[in-house]
Amino acid sequence: MSWGNRSVWLEFVFLAYPSKPEPRALAFLGASLVYTWVITGNVLIMVAIQTKACLHTPMHYFLGSLSGVEIGYTAAVVPHLPANALRAEKTITLLGCATQMGFFIGLGSTDCFLLAVMAYDRYVAIRHPLRYTLIVTRKLCVRMVGCAAGLALLLSLPLTTLIFTLPFCGHRREINHFLCDVPPVLRLACADTRVPQAALYAVGSLVLTVPFLLISASYVLIGSALLRIRSAAGRRRAVSTCSSHLAVVLLQYGCCSLVYLRPRSSTSEDEDRQIALIYTFVTPLLNPLIYTLRNKDVKGALKNAFISKAASDTT
């Protein structure tokens, strides 16, 4: 089946939703709360970074960019979930599925690339503190964020197009998942999937393996620099700025690698779906919490903003 007149009527049916009313209501409530928290937390971070002069630094610029990507990444998937939880028919059209997958892969890849960019920023700040502002300029920050988004777009569009040029037999196809992720959709193709599967591994390697190796190399150099810092306070400050980033890296890269880089023969649909819950819900949910609690500047800016708001409301 091609992108012709017949494909317009092709629908995918999601199976990973509860059928009974009580679990459906809980799924609706949970997805709604997660979405509200992710949007609110990341918007607050972006507003604080944009409005507070003390946060106009490269590190916070990258953090604000990551928050913007997290908002788009979550918006590509999560609003569809509470709607499906309440509907009797959990369906999505072929075009809707392709659109969701394209945004999901593109924004998820941008997220991974930005984590690598943030590792480079921390490397320069700790290894070359005196030349930090000369190396990591505003122009370089904009270019690196633009390159991360552009490379993610160049990888996501061909992969999504390749997958949705495959024939999907029948009028309705059942996806044992809650979103149009690559592995479950590939399982529905009525054709040889070796080429798109190889493309998935290639994209996964570029998005996950290469940036993770760069991040690992950065932290090896950062670790050697920390050993030369004589001040205990300076060492603690450097560790604090890196620990939150490292926690997000391990969670994001670890879960995504288990889904996209494992051989298909060693995976199951249930395992993939359970791991997908982590990088779809848990990681975007924890990111604002991790970065605000571990970043004194952002936490202080948010606290001052709330105090100012409360004072203006009482006057």
Task: Kindly report the pTM of this predicted structure.
Answer: 0.87
- Per mean pLDDT, which of 92-96, 117-121, 172-176, 227-231 is the most reliable? 117-121
Q: What SS3 state is found at 173?
A: strand
Q: Does a structural domain hold residue 314? A: no
Q: Indicate the SS3 state at residue 190.
A: coil
pLDDT at 5 (0 to 100): 47
Q: What is the pLDDT of residue 258?
A: 83
Average pLDDT, the chain: 83
Task: Please state, in angstroms and rounded to a whole number, the distance separating the CA atoms of residues 78 and 80.
Answer: 5
In a domain, 312, yes or no: no
Between 174 and 305, the more confident residue is 174
CB 214 within 8 A of CB 116: yes
Kind plus residue range of the DSSP H or E element containing 11: strand 11-14
User: Is residue 310 assigned to a domain?
Assistant: no
For the cut 70, the answer to whether the pLDDT of residue 256 exceeds it is yes
Note whether residue 250 is domain-resident: yes
Q: Is residue 25 part of a domain?
A: yes
Say if 194 falls within a structural domain.
yes
Which residues have a Cβ under 8 Å from the Cβ of 177 and sit 6 or more positions away? Answer: 14, 15, 16, 184, 269, 272, 273, 276
Residue 176 inside a domain? The answer is yes
In a domain, 311, yes or no: no
Distance, CA of 154 to CA of 294 (rounded, Å): 33
pLDDT tier for residue 6 given thresholds of 50, 70 and 90: very low
Distance CA(127)–CA(222), nearest Å, equals: 7
- For 243, the domain range is 6-305
Task: Give me the pLDDT at residue 274, please.
Answer: 82
- pLDDT, one tens digit per residue, over 279-305 is 888 888 877 777 665 666 676 666 666
**From 23-37, 96-110, 113-127, the region with the lowest mean pLDDT:** 23-37
Locate tokens 């391990």: which residue?
A: 250
pLDDT digits over 120-158, tens only? Answer: 999 998 888 889 999 999 999 999 999 999 999 999 999
Supply the CATH number for residue 286's domain.
1.20.1070.10
How many whole angstroms separate alpha carbon 77 and alpha carbon 4?
Answer: 26
Number of domain units in the chain? 1
What pLDDT score was predicted for residue 112?
93
Weakest-pLDDT range from 145-149, 250-254, 272-276, 290-294: 290-294
Q: Sort strands 91-93 and 172-175 into parallel, antiparallel or unpaired.
A: unpaired
